[in-house]
A and B are shown apart, each in its own frame.
Chain A
Amino acid sequence: MTENPYQPSLATIEKIKVEVTGERAIKTFKLVFQDKEIQEKFNFVPGQCVMISLLGKGESMFAISSSPTEKDYLEVSVMKHGKNTSALHETEEGDTVGVRGPYGNHFDVEGWKNKNIVFIGGGIGMAPLRSVVNYTINAQKRNQYGNLDIIYGARTSNDLCFKDEFTELQKRDDVNVHLSIDVVEEGWEHFVGFVPSNLLKVKPPTKDTIAITCGPPIMIKFVIQNLLELGFKDEQIFTTLEMRMKCGVGICGRCNIGNLYVCKDGPVFSNAQLKNLEGDM
């Protein structure tokens, strides 16, 4: 029988971690394919995405937030917002979801060896970047990369995703973490202000450095503007884009920017590519 690209494989939710509570709740779902062979064959590179569905509710595209160095599972970090994400937030450990992918292009982690990497994330936009962070800090990989600077912010301290992981990272001397929140809070010891401002304060050196950013569109816009001001070249700046998607494989038509489909030609674009891309974003 011909393989059906629209049919997902079943995976079990092994673990649900609550990242953020409240109105903009975020949970990280650890997923393991029920068919061992599928799990073993599932290879991806940071930046790639998967279609996740709760059967009977619907399907949505998510960035994989775990690193491919973790071979036994994959994780997606999901903000509760619409119908599908709300349904996902109601699942329990042991429940079944459909997973298909991985889709799209990826961050060039192989090509970035020996370079410094600056991560600039906002809110749930940290999810795809976390895959690269965890890849580059992996014991076998860390010495292949230069300085790692993580600049991450959210509206409030409650909205920061992966808090426990950043607390651990802050103890390491081979990773620099620069957290921020948008408005003043009692007891907050780090930067207060928007992520692009924190970027200017941190002022990462541009030489042999790659900057990758993901967050709300308005944040990305000012982050790129500030990176250019710091002297970064378009070719050094990468972001990952979001679009409504249905098929995930460039057939259903909706995620185009110009003649490119974000699901298969993206989601990762360099600023050099974005500058030449004329389309609706």
Chain B
Amino acid sequence: MESLVISKENFPELINTIIKSYRLFAPTEEKGFSGFNIIKDYLEMDLSYLNSRMPPKAILFNQTETLFLMEPGAKGSIKSKAISNEKSAIFAIRPCDAKGFRIIDPVFLGDVIDPLYKANRDNSVLIGLSCNQPDSSCFCTSFGDSPASGKYVDILFTDIEENYLVEVMTEKGKNFVNNFGRFFTPAPPKEIEAKNAKEKEAIKLIKRNLKVEGIEEKMDKMFNHPIWEEYAKKCIGCGTCTYLCPTCHCFDVVDESTLDKGARVRTWDACMFPEYTMHTSGHNPRPARMHRLRNRFYHKYSYFPKNSDVIACTGCGRCIRYCPVNIDIIELMNRVSEMEL
């Protein structure tokens, strides 16, 4: 790992230079929230954000995506979709959201490779920006992570007042930085210390903790516990938590067609909706909101650890921040953790 610095004075020019050779996604102000968008100029970027409302998972796993094209009908035909290999850089992704990709990698790049996700993943450089000001819903530290972790990105930027400390974490990151070498100088020890100090301060700002220790084993015994019904009574089934979650990866596949043109399309879907599991016969394995809410928490804290050895939650806090009825995953899971059985 290599540590570099870039002065804030030179930073705008770096961004505008990257834009010339990369499709650059960065946080911009969007209807009063922050969202990752392709920017054409440094000035469009808004770094005064805590985090984007929609996680940048939408960049690599598009909300709506064509799987292939077709001529519809009983005498129809199929036309493969050309997969884009455009080079992208995602700038100022938070460590929690970058971890989201690491969590869903085994789903999309496991026994069966999803070619769309793979192309986007391979062609994207993840450039993180440390959270110096985590908010009251953040809890990445519960999973042993840090708001200034470079573990899941190719390059990590940290705002250290006059400069950014730039930590190059991967080979991909190194190649990227080499393209823009003139902007960077090796980091003197005091700048590295400055980052460490920022990180410590940021960690101190995270006040909440989700007790993950032994939670999977606890859940093995709680499938029929009344706690799920209790929380389901509050839930309105809107699905916001799933759409804004950096690790929710479920999707629907539908055919969209006119008389002579068509496509098979996938769109994000959510286990909070009854139609998601409804059989054609009318039978539904998850007919009640309790079943659906329970499945969401089990998927993240029990099924995912069983299948991929990792809890499918990054502590980004979006589901807490945006839930219209204030269902708080930390509160719920801590009750599970502390449950006397």
Chain A residues engaging chain B, CB cutoff 8 angstroms? 1-8, 10, 53-60, 81-82, 85, 91-92, 95-96, 98, 217, 242-244, 246-247, 249-259, 264, 278-281
Q: What is the total number of residues of chain B having a CB less than 8 Å from a CB of chain A?
A: 56
Partner of B115, one of A4, A254, A278, A279: A4
Is the Cβ of A7 less than 8 Å from the Cβ of B68? yes
- Complex-state Cα separation, A129 to B175, whole angstroms: 56
> What is the distance, in angstroms, from A247's C-beta to the closest C-beta of chain B?
7
Interface string of B282-293 (1 = CB under 8 A from A): 010110000100
A264 surroundings in chain B (CB, below 8 A): 111
Is the Cβ of A4 less than 8 Å from the Cβ of B249? no
Is the Cβ of B223 less than 8 Å from the Cβ of A278? yes
B72 surroundings in chain A (CB, below 8 A): 55-57
The 5 closest A-B pairs by CB, nearest first: A56-B72, A253-B250, A55-B76, A82-B280, A259-B303
Is the Cβ of A254 less than 8 Å from the Cβ of B271? yes
Give 25 A-B contacts (CB < 8 Å), ordered by A residue.
A4-B81, A5-B113, A7-B264, A53-B264, A55-B77, A59-B253, A59-B264, A92-B74, A243-B277, A244-B279, A247-B251, A247-B253, A249-B112, A250-B110, A250-B112, A251-B107, A253-B269, A254-B271, A254-B276, A254-B277, A259-B304, A259-B307, A280-B285, A280-B286, A280-B291
Is the Cβ of B254 less than 8 Å from the Cβ of A2? no
> What is the distance, in angstroms, from B310's C-beta to the closest C-beta of chain A?
13
Is the Cβ of A57 less than 8 Å from the Cβ of B281? no
Partner of B80, one of A4, A81, A258, A259: A4
B80 surroundings in chain A (CB, below 8 A): 1, 4, 7
B118 CB–A CB distance under 8 Å: yes
A8 surroundings in chain B (CB, below 8 A): 78
Q: A59-B255, A242-B279, A253-B249 are in contact. List 4 more A-B contacts (CB 8 A).
A: A55-B70, A81-B281, A244-B276, A280-B295
Partner of B269, one of A249, A254, A280: A254
Is the Cβ of A3 less than 8 Å from the Cβ of B269? no
Interface string of B247-279 (1 = CB under 8 A from A): 001111111010000101010010100001111
- Complex-state Cα separation, A54 to B304, whole angstroms: 34
B31 CB–A CB distance under 8 Å: no
Main secondary structure of the interface of B (DSSP, over half): mixed
B52 CB–A CB distance under 8 Å: no
- Complex-state Cα separation, A152 to B275, whole angstroms: 32
- Complex-state Cα separation, A44 to B114, whole angstroms: 23
- Complex-state Cα separation, A56 to B73, whole angstroms: 6
- Complex-state Cα separation, A81 to B279, whole angstroms: 10
Is the Cβ of A256 less than 8 Å from the Cβ of B279? no
Partner of A252, one of B115, B269, B286, B303: B269
Is the Cβ of B115 less than 8 Å from the Cβ of A3? yes
Query: In the complex, which residue of chain B has the Cβ closest to the Cβ of A59?
Result: B253
Taking each of B107, B119, B262, B285, which has the highest tally of chain A beta carbons within 10 Å of its own beta carbon?
B285
Query: In the complex, which residue of chain A has the Cβ closest to the Cβ of B72?
Result: A56
- Complex-state Cα separation, A265 to B291, whole angstroms: 21
Is the Cβ of A254 less than 8 Å from the Cβ of B74? no
A7 surroundings in chain B (CB, below 8 A): 67-68, 78, 80, 264
Is the Cβ of A258 less than 8 Å from the Cβ of B255? no
Is the Cβ of B252 less than 8 Å from the Cβ of A246? yes
Query: In the complex, which residue of chain A has the Cβ closest to the Cβ of B259?
Result: A56
Known contacts A4-B115, A53-B255, A280-B286; is-contact A85 B280 (Cβ 8 Å): yes
- Complex-state Cα separation, A59 to B68, whole angstroms: 13
- Complex-state Cα separation, A81 to B306, whole angstroms: 36
Is the Cβ of A6 less than 8 Å from the Cβ of B279? no
Partner of A281, one of B70, B262, B285, B307: B285
Query: In the complex, which residue of chain B has the Cβ closest to the Cβ of A81?
Result: B280
> What is the distance, in angstroms, from B338's C-beta to the closest C-beta of chain A?
22
Within B200-226, the residues touching A (CB, 8 Å) are 223
> What is the distance, in angstroms, from B111's C-beta to the closest C-beta of chain A?
7
Within B60-87, the residues touching A (CB, 8 Å) are 67-68, 70-78, 80-81, 83
B71 surroundings in chain A (CB, below 8 A): 55
Is the Cβ of B277 less than 8 Å from the Cβ of A57? no
Is the Cβ of A6 less than 8 Å from the Cβ of B276? no
Query: In the complex, which residue of chain B has the Cβ closest to the Cβ of A58?
Result: B255
Interface string of B119-163 (1 = CB under 8 A from A): 100000000000000000000000000000000000000000000
- Complex-state Cα separation, A278 to B299, whole angstroms: 13
Known contacts A243-B285, A244-B278, A254-B250; is-contact A56 B291 (Cβ 8 Å): no
> What is the distance, in angstroms, from A235's C-beta to the closest C-beta of chain B?
23
- Complex-state Cα separation, A6 to B111, whole angstroms: 14
Is the Cβ of A96 less than 8 Å from the Cβ of B254? no
Query: In the complex, which residue of chain B has the Cβ closest to the Cβ of A57?
Result: B255
A91 surroundings in chain B (CB, below 8 A): 74
Partner of B262, one of A56, A81, A217: A56
Known contacts A6-B68, A56-B72, A246-B252; is-contact A256 B299 (Cβ 8 Å): yes
Query: In the complex, which residue of chain B has the Cβ closest to the Cβ of A265?
Result: B307
Is the Cβ of B252 less than 8 Å from the Cβ of A95? no
- Complex-state Cα separation, A53 to B77, whole angstroms: 12
Partner of B251, one of A60, A253, A279: A253
Query: In the complex, which residue of chain A has the Cβ closest to the Cβ of B285?
Result: A280
